[in-house]
């Protein structure tokens, strides 16, 4: 994942918020951004660990 600025993340939050129909007030934005930064940092830790293409997710459906 490329480096990003606060403005990039704010733009992303606005765009996804609109796409999902989520109301986001300006006063909430710093905390939402801070939480999203933590989630993306932790997700990157997982993303960085390369697994084989054949890896199955834990949530495999059994018919």
Partner 1 sequence: MSSLLDPAEMTATAIAQAVASRKLSALDVLEAVLARIGARDGVLNAFTDVIAEPARAKARAIDAAIAAGQSVGPLAGVPFAVKNLFDVQGLVTRAGAKINRDSSPASRDATLIERMEAAGAVLVGALNMGEYAYDFTGENIHDGNSCNPHDTSRMTGGSSGGSGGAVGGRLVPIALGSDTNGSIRVPASFCGIFGLKPTYGRLSRARTFPFVASLDHLGPLARSVEDLAASYDAMQGADADDAACTTRAVEPVTPFLAQGIGGLRVAIAGGHFQQHLFPEAIEAVGRVAKALNATEVVEVPEAARARAAAYVITTTEGASLHLDRLRTRAHDFDPAVRDRLIAGAMVPAPLVDRAQKFRRWYRARVLELFKHVDVLIAPATPCVAPKIGQVNFVLDGVELPVRANIGIHTQPISFIGLPVVAVPVPLEPMPIGVQLIAAPWREDLVLRVAHALQQMGVAAAPEPKGL
Which residue is it, tokens 């459906």? 61
Task: Pull the structure tokens for residue 48.
Answer: 């960085």
Choice from 7, 26, 55, 63 touching partner 1 (CB under 8 A): 55
C-alpha–C-alpha distance, residues 9 and 46, integer Å: 20
Minimum distance from CB of 3 to partner 1 (Å)? 16
**What is the pattern of x (binds partner 1, CB under 8 A) and - over residues 2-41?**
----------xx--xx--xxxxx---x--xxx-xx-xxx-
The answer to whether residue 45 forms part of the interface with partner 1 (CB under 8 A) is yes
């Amino acid at each position: 994942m490329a480096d990003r600025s606060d403005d990039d993340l704010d733009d992303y939050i606005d765009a996804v918020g609109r796409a999902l129909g989520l109301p986001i007030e300006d006063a909430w934005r710093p905390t939402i951004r801070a939480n999203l930064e933590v989630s993306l940092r932790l997700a990157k830790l997982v993303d960085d660990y390369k697994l084989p293409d054949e890896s199955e997710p834990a949530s495999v459906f059994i018919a």
